[in-house]
Amino acid sequence: MEKLVKTGRIFYGFAMAAVGIHQLFYSDFCLMLFPHWPSLVPGLPVIAWIGSLALIAAGLAIIFEKQARTVSLILGAILLAIFLFIYVPYEILKDPYSKHIGSWVSAFKEFALAGGAFAIAGSLPAGQEHEKTYIRFLEKFIPFGSVLFSITMIDFGIGHFLYIQYVAQMVPDWISAHVFWTYFAGVALIAAGSAIILRIWLKPVAILLGIMIFIWFVTLHIPGAIEEPLVDKGNEIVSAFSALAFSGIAFVISGGYFKTGAKENEKNLQH
């Protein structure tokens, strides 16, 4: 199980580092991390470069487990803060289509990534940094990591039913019964998200969810990224990396994770 959890951390870390590199190429934040609200922050390209370099460093720290717990906690806090104090106001005040669940896709991706960062922090043992006050404060968010991720999965599952024709066309042509698989995926996402929140069959559900999303990464997102690598500033590439990150988060959650220390983690993994 520990190997699967470590694989999940690598998936997440690689995805974050890759998104950071992608942003450097465009000198701009991808829509998954920051809304296209240029007037909000002056000198956004410079901030995007700094943020991208920080994201690359965070991804590498998670992959190689160098201060990974602290880095994950800080990353989760930043992503959650952007969601709450930038993305939510943007959707409410600026986006004319904010009443439609589809307009919140990018915002909820960030919400899930924030939850994933907290879950990853919880999968790693606490070190001396645990003595720091701000670390102990951020650790309080760890138990909610799987909830933030699962809320997004449920939201995406509902979207499969609301936008059936749009989602169905994403199914590769070599796979038949597009509408059936769209409904199937929607039910699977809602059921998996609900089961993780309620901690029902947590391990098998999270593993199956991670496998399902990884299959989408290989069969849907990679071909899409290859076919349209530059459309909308490489949005398909970013979507592929987000799918890889979500798969990794599910694998991390499947191993269980603790609140504040290694002993609690070991106890959780035994269950």
pLDDT tens per residue across span 229-242: 888 888 999 999 99
The pLDDT tens digits of the residues spanning 37-59 come to 655 566 778 888 999 999 999 99
Report how far residue 47's alpha carbon sits from residue 30's, in angstroms, rounded to the nearest whole number.
13
Whether this model's pTM surpasses 0.95? no
Coil/strand/helix, residue 66: coil
Please give the distance of CA 30 from its chain centroid, rounded to a whole number. 14
Mean pLDDT of 108-128: 93
| Residue at 232: amino acid letter | D
**Rounded distance, CA 161 to CA 183, Å?**
7
- Judged by DSSP in three states, 228 sits in coil
Nearest C-alpha neighbor of 148 from the set 180, 208, 108? 108
pLDDT at residue 237, as a whole number: 95
Instruction: Please report the DSSP string for 189-226 in residue order.
Output: HHHHHHHHHHTSSHHHHHHHHHHHHHHHIIIIIHHHHH
Mean pLDDT within 146-168: 96
d(CA 44, CA 61): 25
Q: Tell me: pLDDT of 270 over 60.
A: no
